[in-house]
Amino acid sequence: DVKVTQSSRYLVKRTGEKVFLECVQDMDHENMFWYRQDPGLGLRLIYFSYDVKMKEKGDIPEGYSVSREKKERFSLILESASTNQTSMYLCASSLWGDRVRETQYFGPGTRLLVL
């Protein structure tokens, strides 16, 4: 069974704080993804990584950065949290290989509230 874990289920931060969200997967997956999910907007891709130290911008990277120092761990960083970053953050991972069948598996999510 694929297991993707996220460091926190709920976080409350203040505007301007630096926020770290951690994601760990135990299936040796090459690909890892960070999404945010907001009502009416669905899941939107923030950043993804297909290898250690590699990162690619997704659809909404502004205000975020990422770090992937080890294969199993992918961190999302909010450099200076703002209220419009209040959201549910979801991490996912997938095994590189068959482009058609490759499947993303999600972690439990972190619900972030920025005051």
Q: Which residues bind other proteins (CB under 8 A)?
A: 31, 40-43, 45, 48, 50, 56, 58, 90, 94, 99-109
Residue closest to 23 by CA, chosen among 67, 79, 84: 67
> Nearest approach, Cβ of 96 to other proteins (angstroms)?
8
> Nearest approach, Cβ of 55 to other proteins (angstroms)?
11
> Nearest approach, Cβ of 58 to other proteins (angstroms)?
8
Among residues 29 and 75, whose Cβ is nearest to other proteins? 29
Residue closest to 92 by CA, chosen among 113, 76, 115: 76
Residue partners of 24: CB distance under 8 A and separation at least 6: 4, 5, 6, 72, 73
Among residues 18 and 57, whose Cβ is nearest to other proteins? 57
Q: DSSP assignment of 89-109, as one string?
A: EEEEEE-SS-TTT---EE---
Among residues 27 and 79, whose Cβ is nearest to other proteins? 27
